[in-house]
Chain A
Amino acid sequence: MSIINNINKVFDHRIRLGIMSILMVNEHADFNMLKELLDVTDGNLASHVKALESADYIDVEKQFIGRKPNTRYSTTKLGELEFKKHIEALEKLINPD
């Protein structure tokens, strides 16, 4: 039953998987980049970002570019580890051997 244990409830949503996928292959991404790539609304994205942030899987870095606020996201070590475990668990569920 250890496989089921590795399925992480926090990642159990298409948009959260998408956010983590982008941050795994990019050092960081800002809000608009995530929005464009995932094709979601502001509010929707914000709530999923919040969930990942409160699980400590992503880092949020707020800054200003000129007068415009800009928020940058990146994965934490913990988030990276958990995401890898999650993917491995998914793959094992699909191809049990």
Chain B
Amino acid sequence: MESKDYLKDISEIKNIMNKSSRFISLSGLSGILAGVYALIGAAVAYWLVANSGRDYLMLDGQIFRWVLLDLFLVAFFSIVTAIILTTQKAKKQGAKIWDSTSRRLVFNFLIPLVVGGLYILIILDQQKFGQTAGLMLIFYGLSLINASKYSIGDIRNLGFIQIALGLTAALFPGYGFWLWVLGFGVMHIIYGTWMHFKYDKK
């Protein structure tokens, strides 16, 4: 009869650990998918610019509007995927999806991200678009680091990597596109795979 109690203890421990850290165990697969979307989006943007007859972007051109739409779709599908996967996982574990943990995580993630997004839109409007890739990487990195206080440490490191790539892109604007691909595409896939094997496959 005593050992039955201990068995209950163990399953309770596992249950609570899962419930309180579901964002981490989730982020593997959604990270991989976000990286894949970014690579597809970058390929589309590359193709659009390559076929425009010029090798640079004109801000008021039709092509630029397509690239903006492309970027928007990448962000949109990444967010939708993350929400769907989180909801599924939370349901499976019988956890609340919108509790104080997730609220704090999302809110703190959004502060630098929204500020950065607005800033980028403002300077684009002032015709300064050489720094866009670097700024996106930097603000995204800051968002990850800010959110990492409410999750366990791993997204913090991803954040530092994104900031390093962003600063490099600021120094060498010519390589901005490729650094963006490296940060949003390749790093997400590496990080997602690593998280997947570290947490999901247990």
Contacts and interface: CB of A to CB of B under 8 A. Distances in A.
B20 A94 contact: no
Contacts of B152: 25-27
Contacts of A93: 2-3, 6
A1 interface: no
A29 to B, nearest CB: 7
Interface string B159-199: 00000000000000000000000000000000000000000
B20 A21 contact: yes
B12 A37 contact: no
A36 interface: yes
B153 interface: yes
A17 B9 contact: yes
Contact of A21 (B7, B13, B99): B13
Contacts of A45: none
B21 A91 contact: no
Contact of A90 (B9, B21, B101): B9
A22 B2 CA distance: 24
B6 A17 contact: no
A32 to B, nearest CB: 6
Contacts of A14: 9, 12
Interface string A16-34: 0110011011110100110
B10 A22 contact: no
Given A27-B153, A37-B99, A87-B10, 13 more contacts: A17-B16, A21-B12, A21-B16, A22-B17, A22-B20, A25-B20, A26-B21, A26-B151, A33-B20, A36-B99, A37-B101, A93-B2, A93-B6
Interface of B: 2-3, 6-7, 9-10, 12-13, 16-17, 19-21, 24, 96, 99-101, 149, 151-153
Interface of A: 14, 17-18, 21-22, 24-27, 29, 32-33, 36-38, 87, 90-91, 93-94
